[in-house]
Chains A and B, each alone.
Chain A
Amino acid sequence: MRRYISAYFTDEEDLLRASKILMEKEISILDVLTPFPVHGLDKVLGLKESKLPTVGFIAGAIGTIFAFGFQTWAFVVDYPLFIGGKPHFAIPAFIPITFEVTVLFAAFAMVFAFLFRSKLGLGAKNKIHDERITDDRFVIIIDANESDEHFENVKNILEHEDAHDIQLKENQ
């Protein structure tokens, strides 16, 4: 059983300000749920940069090597065919397919990495905290420890920053 505090905001500016103050007071924020990407929020919460571009680069590089290598192997080693008297190892002719395969590999790898890391996917059973989050509510979820003092403290800060509906909830 774990307890947490949830608070609602109706404006992303209030949310940003409140998050900043909570971070400064070293109160641990478990998650922030928003209807759209709030710019700068990840910086305020000190989230690490996403490594998706690296995944894309590595997968793309594999795609490049695979596509170019395969075409070369098929046309130079496995079954050299004369086509219009052109060279077997025809680099310019291999470029278009190499490029397409690079893009294909990078795109698929990044999408799957994104879904995998975020635990999203067909039939994912993530807890929907509130149905209004995908509409116009911004929710901040804060770790609650046993002391009532902590809750009052957090509540004061949040109320001061225009939060609504500050509640202490329990996870089952």
Chain B
Amino acid sequence: MYVSPIREPLIKGNKTYSQITKDIAAPIEGKPGKAWYMGISLSLSAMFLGLAMMGWTIWEGIGTWGLNRTIGWGWGITNFVWWVGIGHAGTFISAILLLFRQKWRTSINRSAEAMTIFAVLCAGLFPLIHMGRPLLAFFVFPYPNTRDLWVNFNSPLLWDVFAISTYLLVSLLFWYMGLIPDIGTMRDRVKSKAKKFIYGLLSFGWTGSVKHWQRHEKLSLILAGLAAPLVLSVHSIVSADFATSIIPGWHTTIFPPYFVAGAIFSGFAMVLTLLIVTRKVLNLENYITLAHIESMNKIIIATGSIVGIAYLTELFISWYSGVEYEQYAFLNRAAGPYWWAYAIMMTCNVISPQLLWFRKLRRNLVFTFILSIFINIGMWFERFVIIVTSLHRDYLPSSWSMYKPTLVEVGIFVGTLGLFFTCFLLFIRAFPVIAIAEVKTVVKSSGEKEIKNETL
């Protein structure tokens, strides 16, 4: 395919195929540095704290949480929606950008997909613990039982069960199928017998035959075609958890597109948080370049602006609807006792990404890193605002109440952060963080070449 010479190269440093293999395999073959050990001990500690708190919740009961009669959903569901949303960037990068033939995805799709899987795992934990008796979680699946009952197919909570489990499984398949050729590369590189055996087993006997590649390409394309509507459906269904219930502030038709945009927005922020550190620590700056960071920032500003418009539309429609409950819900959000959460949400999600209109800031790593954390916080507060402020003022003023998380809830959230980062740190030690084979396909057309003067 013709690529304009004016375009910035996607892979810098005039790499040969063999150099690409070596550079990307290096973090797995070398010994982990001090930073890695520090990272994993921190994330493991957080994970064990979370496990202890989950254990306490299950042992003692859901009463250890700050929920009450009025506010039945609080921290747990906020975290659930936040984590599912973060997962969406991975599928967006690997599926939707594949369908749009965006070559820059090849440097970031692998790690983003891994992030998707870990984020969805973390998300799935919350409804599970929220049930109170996780050992009976299989009740949510429609299986023939002695009570002769079926689950409620009309309930968006059940749709969620199907959406999240399908999303997790399909993402896992997509990610692993992409990994097979690269695991083959690792199998052929490692020296120790044990490692060779393990990678050999995991590579599924990959040979690189032309027929296999032909099928592999087809498979990736069709899986991408399936995953693209899937990712849009997942957060739409999550939003239906709220939108189908008759609670002012939740009962709106704007929710599905608004949630999907928000999910991709927060997901890209998390990808940036992870990759800005990863590229530095693993010396992959030639593969994940400033051009990649800038492209992601452009998606952040696009989706961030959609989120901003959605917030304003919500406000306008609540006034325009003439429904006093609806009007009160939004007035209470902005100026009620949780005004600070609303203010954090507005600042982080609407105002701060607008700074990315400046090219200098889009290409500034420190700024992008700080902004990505701001967006993560802002998107967490968005879910908190939607859930808690809509619930805390019930129709009956006698039911009005306030919500404050307990240490147990905070601990569980910290625990999922620990689980997420532990998984990611183990992943970068075990598998190539960049799709080696895919990068090789774009290096000729979009890699850095010696300066040619003939066309310019």
Contact = CB atoms under 8 A, between A and B. Distances in A.
Interface of A: 31-39, 41-42, 45, 47, 50, 52-53, 56, 60, 70-71, 74-75, 78-79, 81, 83-84, 86, 90, 93-94, 96-97, 99-101, 103-104, 106-108, 110-111, 114-115, 117-129, 131-136
Contacts of B207: 33, 126-129, 133
B205 A120 contact: yes
Interface in B190-217: 201, 204-217
Given A100-B162, A127-B207, A111 B233 contact: no
A86 B153 CA distance: 12
Nearest to B148: A79
Contact of B166 (A81, A84, A104, A132): A104
A134 B359 CA distance: 39
B210 A36 contact: no
Given A100-B162, A135-B185, A120 B210 contact: no
B254 interface: no
18 contacts: A31-B211, A33-B210, A35-B208, A37-B216, A37-B217, A41-B213, A45-B210, A50-B215, A52-B215, A70-B142, A71-B153, A78-B150, A96-B163, A97-B159, A100-B163, A108-B169, A135-B21, A136-B17
Given A36-B213, A86-B154, A131-B188, 5 more contacts: A52-B222, A56-B226, A107-B173, A118-B212, A122-B201
Interface string B157-173: 01100110010011001
A35 B162 contact: no
Interface residues of B, number: 59
Query: At the interface, is chain B mostly helix, strand, loop or mixed?
Result: helix
A78 B220 CA distance: 40
B205 A119 contact: yes
Given A53-B222, A74-B150, A111-B173, A136 B18 contact: yes
B173 A134 contact: no
Contacts of A53: 218, 222
Given A56-B222, A135-B18, A135-B188, A114 B237 contact: no
A37 B226 contact: no
A37 B153 contact: no
B149 interface: yes
A134 B188 contact: yes
A31 B206 CA distance: 14
Given A134-B208, A135-B18, A96 B237 contact: yes
A26 to B, nearest CB: 18
B166 A103 contact: yes
B356 interface: no
Nearest to B150: A74
Contacts of A115: 204
A37 B437 contact: yes
Contacts of B222: 52-53, 56, 106, 110
B17 A35 contact: yes
A47 B214 contact: yes
B140 to A, nearest CB: 12
Contacts of B211: 31, 42, 47, 118
B216 A114 contact: yes
B441 interface: yes
A101 B17 contact: no
Given A118-B211, A131-B188, A134-B185, A50 B218 contact: yes
Nearest to A60: B226
B341 interface: no
Nearest to A87: B154
